[in-house]
């Protein structure tokens, strides 16, 4: 199991990085990325602190630990600039808070994030065919999420990704201990979104590809 979208006390999560990682390790996750919500105001502060934890403590766990960010409610014209700033600050994985149906995310966020080459477009809502095709061309992974509300459009995302060849990953968007779902529930949610067992296994391979690429 791999979770590349999680939150700690550095944004709206309940746990410090050490406890989040330890809980994920015990449940059986093999990789986790700490991706707190950031904008211009807290990007450098958040990445610096999470990176320090990953570099000094991450190797003590039997789980791959990465430092990332989730760019959140960024005005679409500024997304490319913020992606570049996040990578320059040291974020190993850049997630974009997509156009979920349960938050007032600006229209155009999905497209701008894909054009900017984020690693993962989280909970992209009613993403368009054109956007999914572009994601496939640019290698941007689309998220199937286990988080309530954001998950309302999982089936739509899965169907378009299959038809147009976009990569999928399954993430928890964990904010609290209860959000680190079991292996069985992850699989159930993915199959419930319409994925076949083989397609679900491919989501884990896609996530490992991101982990390996970003840890170089």
At 77-134, the pLDDT tens digits run 999 999 999 999 999 999 999 999 999 999 999 999 999 999 999 999 999 999 999 9
pTM, two decimal places: 0.97
pLDDT-derived band of residue 214, with 50, 70 and 90 as boundaries? confident
For residue 192 the two structure tokens come to: 């419930």
At 12-56, the pLDDT tens digits run 999 999 999 999 999 999 999 999 999 999 999 999 999 999 999
Q: Which fold has domain 2-214?
A: TIM Barrel (3.20.20)
Query: CA torsion sign, 143 to 203 to 78 to 48?
Result: positive
CB burial of residue 59 (10 Å; 0-12, 13-18, 19+): exposed
For residue 91 the two structure tokens come to: 């974020």
What is the reported pLDDT for 199?
98
Please, are residues 76 and 111 in contact by the beta-carbon 8 Å criterion? yes
| Crossing angle of helices 197-214 and 183-192, rounded to 10° | 120
């Amino acid at each position: 199991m791999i979770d590349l979208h999680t939150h700690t006390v550095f944004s709206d999560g309940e746990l410090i990085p050490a406890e989040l990682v330890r809980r994920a390790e015990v449940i059986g996750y093999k990789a986790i990325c700490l991706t707190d919500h950031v904008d211009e105001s807290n990007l450098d502060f958040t990445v610096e602190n999470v990176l320090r934890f990953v570099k000094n403590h991450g190797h003590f766990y039997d789980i791959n630990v990465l430092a990332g960010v989730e760019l959140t409610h960024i005005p679409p014209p500024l997304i490319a600039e913020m992606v570049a700033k996040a990578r320059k600050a040291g974020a190993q994985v850049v997630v974009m808070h997509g156009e979920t149906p349960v938050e007032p995310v600006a229209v155009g966020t999905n497209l701008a994030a894909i054009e900017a080459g984020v690693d993962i477009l989280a909970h992209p809502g009613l993403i368009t065919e054109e956007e999914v095709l572009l994601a496939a061309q640019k290698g941007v992974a689309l998220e199937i999420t286990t988080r309530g509300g954001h998950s309302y459009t999982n089936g739509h995302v899965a169907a378009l990704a299959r038809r147009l060849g976009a990569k999928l990953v399954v993430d928890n968007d964990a904010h609290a201990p209860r959000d680190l779902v079991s292996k069985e529930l992850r699989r159930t949610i993915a199959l419930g979104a319409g994925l076949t067992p083989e397609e679900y296994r491919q989501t884990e391979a896609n996530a490992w590809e991101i982990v390996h690429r970003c840890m170089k």
